[in-house]
C-alpha cells in the first residue's frame, strides 16, 4: 500500500513545460488523466516513473523519494504501460507476458507459479490461443492486450497506463476497464474517452497546456468543465456526454 505525493513539480522540454503544484494519490485510487493531445499526460507518467527528470519538485512513494528508490525497488512499486512499446526479440506471447514476473522474482528464474499466473492473465486478456505465437505476428490490438497482460503480471501496488485501450475493440476495452476497477492496486491511466472513464474511474485529473486545471471526483465532471478543457461544446444526456463544434 503506497501513496504517491507530487509537490511543486516542474518539467521543461523546448517550449513545453509541465507544472504540477500538488497531487496526492492514495493507495488503491483509480485516477484518469485527461486533456487534449500534447497537454502533458504522458510527460507526467514519464516523470512519475523516473523516465524523465524534473527541473525541480518532488515525487514521493510512501516515505521514499523516487530518486532514493533503486531500480529493482521501482519495479516492485510501479508498472507502466507506455503509449508505444515494441519488442525486437522473437519472443512468443507467453514469454512476453511472463517477463512481467521478472520484477518480483528474486531468484531470476521463473517458477511454476509464474507460469500459472501468466496463463491466467492470458485468459483474462483473451490471448491464451496466441500463447505460442510470435509476438511480432500479432495485430496492433492483440499486441496491446499482450502488453497489458505483461504489465498486470508485474503485480505492483501502482499501475500506470498510457491510453490502455488504444487499438482495442469495444468488448476488450470494457473487459479490461472492468478488471482495472476491481484491482486493489492504484491505477493511474491517461484516457481520451470521457464516457468510458466516467463509468469506471472515481477521480479525474484534467490538464491543459501543461497545467493541472481540475482534480475532481466523478460527480463534479460537468459539461462546463469539459467545454473549458477541450474547447468544444458539450451536452449531457442520460449520464453520457456528447461533444460538438
Ligand X SMILES: Nc1ncnc2c1ncn2[C@@H]1O[C@H](COP(=O)(O)OP(=O)(O)OP(=O)(O)O)[C@@H](O)[C@H]1O
Binding site for ligand X (CB under 6 A): 13, 16, 35, 37-43, 83, 190
Query: What are residue 203's DSSP bridge partners?
Result: 31, 217
Alpha carbon 86 to its chain's center: 17
* Residue 68 DSSP SS3: helix
Kindly state the DSSP code that residue 101 receives in the 8-state scheme: G
Q: Which triple of cell numbers denotes residue 154?
A: 508485474
Nearest distance in Å: CB 170, ligand X: 20
| Number of Cβ within a 10 Å radius of residue 233 | 12
Q: Which is nearer to ligand X, 120 or 213 (CB)?
A: 213
Nearest distance in Å: CB 210, ligand X: 7
Place of cell 484516457: 191
Q: Which is nearer to ligand X, 41 or 172 (CB)?
A: 41
Q: How many helices (H) and strands (E) does the chain have?
A: 8, 12
Nearest distance in Å: CB 91, ligand X: 26
Q: Which is nearer to ligand X, 76 or 208 (CB)?
A: 208
Q: Which is nearer to ligand X, 37 or 139 (CB)?
A: 37
User: Residue 212: in which H helix or E strand, if any?
Assistant: strand 211-217
| Dihedral class, residue 33 (left if φ above 0, else alpha if ψ from -120 to 50, else beta) | beta
Nearest distance in Å: CB 118, ligand X: 29
Q: Which is nearer to ligand X, 38 or 90 (CB)?
A: 38
Nearest distance in Å: CB 162, ligand X: 7
Amino acid at each position: 500500500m503506497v501513496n504517491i505525493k507530487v509537490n511543486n513539480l516542474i518539467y521543461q522540454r523546448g517550449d513545453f513545460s509541465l507544472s504540477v503544484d500538488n497531487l496526492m494519490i492514495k493507495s488503491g485510487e483509480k485516477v484518469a488523466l485527461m486533456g487534449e493531445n500534447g497537454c502533458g499526460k504522458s510527460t507526467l507518467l514519464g516523470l512519475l516513473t523516473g523516465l524523465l527528470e524534473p527541473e525541480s519538485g518532488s515525487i514521493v512513494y510512501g516515505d521514499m523519494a523516487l530518486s532514493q528508490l533503486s531500480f529493482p525497488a521501482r519495479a516492485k512499486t510501479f508498472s507502466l504501460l507506455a503509449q508505444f512499446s515494441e519488442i525486437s526479440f522473437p519472443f512468443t506471447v507467453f514469454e512476453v507476458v511472463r517477463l512481467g514476473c521478472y520484477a518480483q522474482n528474486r531468484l531470476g528464474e521463473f517458477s511454476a507459479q509464474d507460469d500459472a499466473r501468466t496463463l491466467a492473465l492470458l485468459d483474462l486478456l483473451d490471448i491464451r490461443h496466441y500463447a505460442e505465437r510470435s509476438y511480432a505476428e500479432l495485430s496492433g490490438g492483440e499486441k496491446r492486450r499482450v502488453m497489458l497482460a505483461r504489465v498486470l503480471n508485474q503485480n505492483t501496488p501502482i499501475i500506470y497506463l498510457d491510453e490502455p485501450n488504444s487499438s482495442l475493440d469495444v468488448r476488450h476495452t470494457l473487459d479490461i476497464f472492468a478488471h482495472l476497477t476491481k484491482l486493489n492496486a492504484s491505477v493511474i491511466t491517461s484516457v481520451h474517452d470521457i464516457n468510458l472513464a466516467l463509468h469506471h474511474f472515481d477521480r479525474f485529473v484534467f490538464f491543459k497546456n501543461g497545467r493541472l486545471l481540475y482534480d475532481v471526483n466523478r460527480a463534479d465532471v460537468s459539461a462546463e468543465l469539459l467545454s473549458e478543457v477541450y474547447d468544444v461544446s458539450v451536452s449531457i444526456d442520460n449520464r453520457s456526454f456528447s461533444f460538438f463544434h
